[in-house]
A = this chain, B = another copy of it.
Amino acid sequence: MTDQGYSATSVDQVIAESSTSKGAFFHHFSSKTDLARRLVERYVAADLGHLDAGLAAIAEIEDPVQRVVAFLRFYEDGADALMAAQSGCLYATVLAERGFTGSDMNRQVAKAEQVWRDAFSDLLRPALASRPRATDVEVDDLAAHLYTTFEGAFILCRTMQDPSAMRSQLRTFRQLVEALLRAG
């Protein structure tokens, strides 16, 4: 589903690739939508796990600016592994389905994004505090730009059929933030 999208993935295909049966499938999932819901649950959990990993990686760092930079570098360094493990983002594919707008899944994804945004905002605020020239930048929007970069880069990778675009886009974002923290 992450790879092909919800509609393009048939239950028969899921069954074939998992070497089970219709009976088994519908014993564990009440419907195809239910499968998507459970997948989103898992995906959100893993996603928030990645956030924690990033925060843990910078736990020792004191300087606010260095914390932000190291945080972004953490994901930059993990980009290639990420793209090797998954070629797309379940968030994007699920949200592509018009019928899921406003659904439970939509809310889950929105909530996860909010957690990321709040966490990154908390890192950015002290780093930007001593940069009076950067007051016009909305911290919240800047924090959301990490999500934007992730999702956008996934699509760029697809477009160019080049998984390394994830890393280069995360690096670009990091360099831009560094410039802001330098110049702000």
> For A4, what are the chain B residues with a Cβ–Cβ distance below 8 Å?
96-99
* Copies assembled: 2
Contact A156 B151 (CB under 8 A): yes
Chain A residues touching B, range: 35 or more
Contact A96 B96 (CB under 8 A): yes
Contact A141 B88 (CB under 8 A): no
- Which residue of B is nearest A162, CB measured? B110
Q: A152 interface residue, CB < 8 Å from B?
A: yes
> For A144, what are the chain B residues with a Cβ–Cβ distance below 8 Å?
156, 165, 168-169, 172
Given contacts A92-B92, A95-B155, 18 further A-B contacts (CB under 8 A): A5-B7, A5-B8, A8-B96, A8-B98, A96-B158, A101-B158, A110-B159, A110-B161, A113-B159, A142-B172, A142-B176, A145-B172, A145-B176, A148-B152, A148-B153, A148-B169, A176-B176, A180-B183
